[in-house]
Amino acid sequence: MCGRARECLWHAVPPRKEPCERDAGLREFRGRRLMLRSRIIPCLLMQDSGLVKTRQFGDPKYVGDPINAVKIYNEKQVDELSIYDIDATVQGRGPDFDHLRSIAVESRMPLCYGGGVRSAADAVKLIKLGFEKVSVSAAAVERPALIRELADAVGRQSVVVTVDVKKGGLLGRLGVFTHNGKRAAKVKLADFVPMIEDQGAGEIVINHIDRDGMMQGYDLELARSVRAAVDIPTTMLGGAGSVDHMRELIDAIGTCGAAAGSLFVFNGVYRAVLISYARP
């Protein structure tokens, strides 16, 4: 390290003075260091300890073993991997910690888990297993104060709220749904999204049920409205069928998370199972 840079690290900057990092070389390095890029996130759905992929939250198709998938994604050096147990909340049970431990042990990438998390104790246990993020959905809708409890227990950066949305009602407006899209929530989407940030979540995931597994592109209008409503990182899930769809999302809302399921587990028009990964 040059003496000029070392001086910056060891001495405070006086009031109304510019830090010496304004030197061209250090400024260039700092710019590179702070540059953010969008995260491309495979999303895996667990059911009965195996992996499935759904269409509009129905018609689950078996796609393999989660540990094998994790090993493949390790080699592909994915940005992050999200795993959701889609039956935990519906069946009224908590996370399968033993199974999740075996998954976390194999992973060499950041992991997010959701499904059946209902307390700060659940979140703490998941973090200790090796998961970087914990996602809540129905439990946060039922009791938004849980978001704050989780943030206090494991840190805001580790708390994700996943919001499942689809069109419903006489007017066909987007609403919040829980329990695999079977139960309509009383809260309005426009009210719930900013509440998530206010309660202390570090990230919001919007999962579009109508587009799940359809591979026809993200809902860009929805993405723009959510991004405008919050300052925390935003991830969109539901609809990605190509890297071009991800590029369209990033172009529409800037740095974000672009999550996908079918795109990274199926290949071709016959939806043959093939674990893959690609970036726009």
Task: Give which of 137, 154, 161, 136 is closest to 235, Cα–Cα.
Answer: 161
Mean local confidence (pLDDT), 161-186: 94
What contacts 221, CB < 8 A, 6 or more positions away?
Answer: none
Q: What is the DSSP string of 135-188?
A: EESHHHHH-THHHHHHHHHH-GGGEEEEEEEEEETTTTEEEEEETTTTEE-SS-
Q: Residues 154, 156, 157, CA angle at the centre, nearest 5°?
A: 95
pTM as predicted: 0.87
pLDDT at 14 over 90: no
Per-residue model confidence as pLDDT tens digits over 54-71: 999 999 999 999 999 999
| CA separation for the pair 201, 18 (Å, rounded) | 34
Contact assessment for residue 219 and residue 211, using Cβ atoms and an 8 Å cutoff: yes
Percentage of the chain beyond pLDDT 70 is 88
Helix %, strand %, coil % of the chain (to 5): 40, 25, 35
| CA separation for the pair 194, 262 (Å, rounded) | 29
Q: What does the mean pLDDT of the chain come to?
A: 90
Predicted confidence band of residue 36 (pLDDT cuts 50, 70, 90)? confident
pLDDT at 26 over 50: no
pLDDT at 257 over 50: yes
pLDDT at 34 over 60: no
Return the amino acid letter for 94: G
pLDDT at 35: 56
Sign of the torsion formed by the C-alpha atoms of 37, 42, 45 and 49 = negative
Percentage of the chain beyond pLDDT 90 is 85
Predicted confidence band of residue 169 (pLDDT cuts 50, 70, 90)? confident
pLDDT at 4 over 70: no
pLDDT at 170 over 80: no
Least confident of 2-6, 82-86, 199-203, 213-217: 2-6
Higher model confidence: residue 169 or residue 148?
Answer: 148
pLDDT at 13 over 50: no
Please identify which of the residues 87, 164, 212, 219 carries the catalytic annotation: 164
Mean local confidence (pLDDT), 238-254: 98
According to the 3-state scheme, what is the secondary structure of 18-78? CCHHHCHHHHHHHHHHHCCCCEEEEEEEEECCEEEEEECCEEEEEEECHHHHHHHHHHHCC
Q: Residues 176, 181, 187, CA angle at the centre, nearest 5°?
A: 20
Per-residue model confidence as pLDDT tens digits over 183-233: 999 999 999 999 999 999 999 999 999 999 999 999 999 999 999 999 999
Please indicate whether residue 164 is annotated as part of the active site. yes
Mean local confidence (pLDDT), 235-254: 98
How many CB atoms sit inside 10 A of residue 80's CB? 19
Question: Structure tokens of 52?
Answer: 């499935």
